[in-house]
Structure 1
Amino acid sequence: MGKYKQDCVETKVYSESHQNQPVSDDSKEGKGKRLWKKVKYQLVEYHSLPGYLKDNEYIIGHYRSEWPMKQILMSVFSIHNETLNVWTHLIGFFLFLSLTIYTAMKVPTVVDFPSLQHLPDVLKNADLHKLHADLMTCLPSLPNMSDLHRLREELKTSLPSTDLLPSLSSWHIVELLTNCLPKRFSHSNSTDVCVLMSMKEDVANIIAPLLMRPITRWPFFAFLGGAIFCMLASSTCHLLSCHSQRVSYIMLRVDYAGIAALISTSFYPPVYYSFMCYPFFCNMYMGFITLLGIATVLVSLIPVFEKPEYRAVRASLFFGMGLSGVAPILHKLILFWHQPEALHTTGYEVLMGAFYGIGALVYAMRVPERWMPGKFDIAGHSHQLFHVLVVAGAYTHYRAGLVYLKWRDLEGC
């Protein structure tokens, strides 16, 4: 029994002395770093955030706070309360980048006429002298053409050489093909019908490629550029703002500039293509919306506007920019009430405004998260809905732009 007690005492002493042996510095440092990284890069709750990151008190958790840049960039593939904010507009960025490339490659052929590359063959096969004689006989049947005599004189001297063709208006050629020639069909024998049908095809193939030249595209590409910049700026802002107060300040300024750029450039296609034949109104409306966009960006640079209590002011400022487009749209309807394209594009623009307006309202009201705080931290909160509605509105406007291009390509001024 005495021997057993002695063995137990010796074992306890050995164990205590072994536990108290000093651990190497390298081992301590390695364990400390691993533990600090594990704690430091954990998602935190709203009450743990620094003041500059506190924006929406109804989103309770899953925040990144002052992470190093490497971890922030990698977090684009992890789950937190900004993941969908990043990806909704990152997908929008790639969408509009693809639409820009598609527009540059395909949209100039939106009017379905023979390509210029086939023009030499058409000219070689066309009997321009016979075409000249038939047109001269046909011209008197054209109604209400104020410059009929001038057109006849130009046709006498210019048609065989095709020098006149680029200068003819689209109204002239449409009348020639749809009003004049069908009248000849109804008063001719079968042989003449064949000849005239061949002549009509020659006229279309010769004149259409020269006449229906695509109008300038820069207002449309300005809008696409504004959309691309807005989507990329917003996505970058939501990804990087948690790094530091300085980075957050810069990213918010860039984000506001992107929103202002999207709203401003959204008015370029409707204003330019609606009033391209009215330079005074075109310059007035485009100048006004451009200055308003610049003013909005400058006001957004003032630090006081980044505070959460000014959320409604920020939303109202951008909402007001959108409302400024009502005047040119109403003016367009007054000028072109008889044009189906005017009504078609206005329908798209009303839908676009609805998307933007509802998005701004959801953002300002912070719904649905204000009804159930903490339930929409990861998915479904107001900012994510706002992003989806912005992408939907911008795409709707893209569709309206295609209608404008086709309309003006066909009719010009």
Structure 2
Amino acid sequence: MEQQERGNAKGMRTVEFEALPDYMRDNEYITGHYRLEWPLKHTLLSIFTIHNETLNVWTHLLGFIFFLCLTIYTATKLPNVSDLPVPSKANLHRLQSDVYSSLPSLPNMAELQAELRTALPNWVGNCLPENSTSHSNGTVHCIFQTIKDDVANMVYPHSQRPITRWPFFVFLGGATFCLLASTSFHWLCCHSERLYMIFLRLDYSGIAALIAASFYPPVYYSFMCTPYLRNMYLTAITLLGIATIIVSLFPAFQNPKYRSCRAILFSGMAIWGIAPVVHKVILHKDQPEALHTTAYEIGMGCFYVLGVLVYATRIPERWKPGKFDIAGHSHQLFHILVIAGAYTHYQAGLLYLKWRDLKGC
């Protein structure tokens, strides 16, 4: 056929769907411009040529570079303890002297207690119980330590006791791995059946890793102060993610007839995330940050679900087969929606960090 005779600069021709072996027959609505069993050198160089995988490669390659830069930026720009002010030791020593000087030689303990409770009403409750009738240096030290802790909290609030960042970087790691695995598959899949199957499995594993990793920031920071709930949700999504990755690595699962099954499995895994989000809103309904992060998560979910629907229904190429072979077909749209969803989730992660850094538990 005319298209089969069409070659690129290196003399490697593209073929139509009917010429493909069974393992490459994934979407009959993309009728042409397939690379088939190209030598490795030409396969690598094909990133700079026009075929029906060109935009699939570049959408996620640029996405990978973007998220790699985001990861580096986040790691270097998020505030650390060393970036924040430390209370002055001289001020704390001066405060200690003031505490001692505020203990005058009064005739009896009742007058001393009254004086302290008037001068330091918020600090002496635990050190001078209501019915206390004794006084000692331990009481003075107790008062000083209480004041010291309070002042440290005013000068050195919860944001200086840094919230752990690793859940956020788990998400960023999952996103970069997913985008890199997808790029590799669409770039190298035309070399041989063996390479096709290896990278296809990695591609599905990357999607599962992204979905599972996306749960870590919202679950960890939403339930940071309730370890039981936090660990329960994280354990459940981790096990579900591992199971999905294992299933994705089975060769039989890559058969095109399981396309709908794959879509259901991955979308079901994502939909399961509704539970911790709803639980978070109920638990923190009085905190604006909980609602703001939820809005971002709803946006992320919409991008992902729309991407899955486009991928599973093969819209728009099913409406006009052959018209979207090079640009605009469902897999390219799916890639763009995945990047949009992941970036929305990144913004939600920044809100989580700001929320917990400022307010703690």
TM-score grouping bracket, smaller chain normalisation: 0.7 to 0.9
Q: Which residue of structure 2 lines up, in the alignment, with residue 312 of structure 1?
A: 260
Which one-letter code corresponds to 2:270 in the other structure? G
- Structure with bigger helix share is 1
How much does 1:37 deviate? 9.8
Residues 165, 211 of structure 1: 8 Å contact kept: no
Q: Which residue of structure 1 lines up, in the alignment, with residue 111 of structure 2?
A: none
Name the % identity. Answer: 59
Which one-letter code corresponds to 1:74 in the other structure? L
Which one-letter code corresponds to 1:407 in the other structure? W
Summarize deviations over 1:196-243 as a string: whole Å, max 9, x none: xxxxxxxx5x433x8632111111100000000000000001001111
- Let me know the Cα RMSD of the aligned residues: 2.8
Q: Secondary structure at the match of 1:288?
A: helix
Q: Which residue of structure 1 lines up, in the alignment, with residue 14 of structure 2?
A: 43
Unaligned runs of 5+ in 1: 1-35, 174-203
Q: Distance in 2 between matches of 1:309 and 1:138?
A: 79
Q: Which residue of structure 1 lines up, in the alignment, with residue 125 of structure 2?
A: 149
Are the structure 2 counterparts of residues 136 and 392 from structure 1 closer, same or farther at C-alpha, using a change threshold of 3 Å? farther
Are the structure 2 counterparts of residues 136 and 228 from structure 1 closer, same or farther at C-alpha, using a change threshold of 3 Å? farther
Q: Distance in 2 between matches of 1:138 and 1:260?
A: 60
Residues 117, 124 of structure 2: 8 Å contact kept: no
Which one-letter code corresponds to 1:49 in the other structure? L
Which one-letter code corresponds to 1:231 in the other structure? L
Q: Which residue of structure 1 lines up, in the alignment, with residue 307 of structure 2?
A: 359
Are the structure 2 counterparts of residues 69 and 150 from structure 1 closer, same or farther at C-alpha, using a change threshold of 3 Å? farther
Alignment of 1:116-155 (within 5 A): 116=84, 119=86, 122-124=88-90, 127-129=94-96, 140=121, 149-150=125-126
How much does 1:139 deviate? 5.3
Q: Which residue of structure 2 lines up, in the alignment, with residue 383 of structure 1?
A: 331
Q: Secondary structure at the match of 2:38?
A: coil
Are the structure 2 counterparts of residues 139 and 240 from structure 1 closer, same or farther at C-alpha, using a change threshold of 3 Å? farther
Query: 1:79 aligned to 2:15?
Result: no
Q: Which residue of structure 2 lines up, in the alignment, with residue 395 of structure 1?
A: 343
Unaligned runs of 5+ in 2: 1-6, 103-115, 129-138
Q: Distance in 2 between matches of 1:114 and 1:245?
A: 53
Q: Which residue of structure 2 lines up, in the alignment, with residue 176 of structure 1?
A: none
TM-score normalised by structure 1 residue count: 0.73
Alignment of 1:13-412 (within 5 A): 41-108=12-79, 115-116=83-84, 119=86, 122-124=88-90, 127-129=94-96, 140=121, 149-150=125-126, 156-158=143-145, 162=148, 164=149, 173=153, 204=154, 206-208=155-157, 212-412=160-360
How much does 1:301 deviate? 2.3
How much does 1:302 deviate? 2.5
Q: Secondary structure at the match of 2:317?
A: coil
Are the structure 2 counterparts of residues 283 and 41 from structure 1 closer, same or farther at C-alpha, using a change threshold of 3 Å? same
Are the structure 2 counterparts of residues 252 and 148 from structure 1 closer, same or farther at C-alpha, using a change threshold of 3 Å? farther
Summarize deviations over 1:156-190 as a string: whole Å, max 9, x none: 22268x5x369x7xxxx5xxxxxxxxxxxxxxxxx
Are the structure 2 counterparts of residues 159 and 128 from structure 1 closer, same or farther at C-alpha, using a change threshold of 3 Å? farther
Which one-letter code corresponds to 2:28 in the other structure? E
How much does 1:276 deviate? 1.4
Which one-letter code corresponds to 1:282 in the other structure? R
Are the structure 2 counterparts of residues 275 and 50 from structure 1 closer, same or farther at C-alpha, using a change threshold of 3 Å? same
